[in-house]
Structure 1
């Protein structure tokens, strides 16, 4: 009975964490370039239950009753990097990546970060930045990395990927052999301890953004299912608690 309480409790804790993760996904449905997170579930070790109360000729014999699980828990968080829908905005400073790469940014701390959110702006010095002020990194034909300086917002991105009036710069698009090595950071950015490759296969589309890859209908349906599962575990926990209360207070009492 006590083990059943722990099993139901771990189920409730797991469902709560899943709901929090799903709620975060839903909250970012309208965040450009957002990639949804999924939680991998693992089960705790099972134990084999045996009954040794059977005696024959002074010897005890075991009777296997079956296995008991100790509930489930969270194994890891897995980010899904599937392509989001590309939506035209008509804004000249909006860019979308059609492919698996990431825009390369450099923060105030000098560290590289990566994002799929292409909603850019121009700072007071004429450099292309994210909405949070991180400068966008470009690369020229010689492989030299530079910040992209555009001065005016009406610049064009050529069909060859060159950014107009930047001295032959393209967006530095980074790719990773294992995208699960990326770590989510603030403001819809990612960081990585591994050295990325230069992505030459992704297409950059101006006047557009990549929408979140969260499916609203699927997310809301999953949230309802999780809430019902949580309530089921809660009812089981309450029933076990009531049964234990009766066992302690009523069974074997003298009347």
Structure 2
């Protein structure tokens, strides 16, 4: 009897992980700049064992643009990500352009990461005091009280599948494969990019996944019952 418990077990684990990803997508319907994640599953053979290879990649299709009229809200139309720097000095990337000014006059994310320009962290204060009037051109040139200070550092990747996400939701690429700066980005001030999650698509995917999940569980139960029956039959034969 070809009992494929390993394959079924790996399939069940991958389905559970995919369900987690779909649930996370749905929970971020209203998260600015959020990109839904896709799960790709492949069945592999390794030394006669069935293994499931699973890869989670972001779907970088652009989300709807929503006008806010807040001068510190920015959206990227087309490819590219804002660059920010964390407190540990690590550079990260995001499509969420909802920024604010901190006590030192730096443009920062809602969680305090400094937003990067081509010359470093962007400071929009006047003489180190109060922040000035911020205006940004469609190509990302930043002006404070009509004086040019820097350009947004906008980066892009040849292959978005190399990107991974940290606990705070920022993207990074370990080897920075294909990383490049976008010379002429399209920046829209007073606008934010909404999540690209389509709740209908996610719910359909979840329903389909639940059906596969139930089928896999039934298959495991059937194999278990067949194995028990075989063991019992062998036991009866030996005692006969």
Name the SS for the 2:216 alignment partner.
helix
Task: Return closer, same or farther for 1:3/1:128 CA change in 2, 3 Å cut-off.
Answer: same
> Any idea what SS the aligned residue of 1:41 has?
strand
Matching residue of 1:17: 17
- TM-score w.r.t. the length of structure 2 is 0.84
1:201–1:3 distance in 2 versus 1, CA, 3 Å: farther
Aligned 1:110-121 pairs, distance under 5 A: 110-121=89-100
Partner residue in 2 for 1:169: 150
Partners in 1 of 2:187 and 2:121 — Cα distance? Answer: 18
Counterpart for residue 158 of structure 1: 137
Residue segments in structure 2 that go unaligned for 5+ positions in a row: none
- Cα contact 1:92–1:153 (8 A) shared by 2: no
Q: Quick one: distance in 2 between partners of 1:153 and 1:89?
A: 19
1: CA distance, partners of 2:159 / 2:77: 18
Give the alignment's TM-score, normalised by structure 1: 0.79
Say whether residues 1:84 and 2:53 are aligned partners: no
Distance 1:236 1:40 in 2: 22
Output aligned runs, 1:61-140, within 5 Å.
73-139=52-118
Structure 1 residue ranges, 4+ long, deviating more than 4 angstroms after superposition: 69-72, 250-255
| 1-structure distance, mates of 2:138, 2:60 | 26
Question: Aligned-pair distance for 1:46?
Answer: 9.3
Task: Tell whether 2:123 aligns with 1:148.
Answer: yes
Structure 1 residues 19 and 153: CA distance shift in structure 2, 3 A: farther
- Deviation string for 1:60-86 (max 9, x for gaps)? xxxxxxxxx965513322222221111
**For the residues of structure 2 that align with 1:106 and 1:98, how far apart are their CA atoms?**
22
What is residue 188 of structure 1 aligned with on the other side? 169
- What is the CA RMSD across the aligned residues, in angstroms? 2.6
Q: Deviations over 1:24-70 (max 9, x none)?
A: 222222211122222221112399xxxxxxxxxxxxxxxxxxxxx96
Question: Partner residue of 1:32?
Answer: 32
1:2, distance to aligned residue in structure 2 (A): 5.7
Structure 1 stretches of 5 or more lacking a match?
48-68
Q: Report deviation, 1:183.
A: 2.4
Residue 3 of structure 1: SS of its match in structure 2?
coil
Alpha-carbon contact 1:14-1:72 (below 8 Å) kept: no
DSSP 3-state at the match of 2:115 = strand
Deviation track 1:139-197 (CA, whole Å, cap 9, x = no partner) reads 3xxxx444232444753323453323153322111122333333212322122332732
After superposition, the Cα gap between the structure-2 partners of 1:118 and 1:246, relative to the gap in structure 1 and judged at 3 Å, is same
Partner of 1:62: none
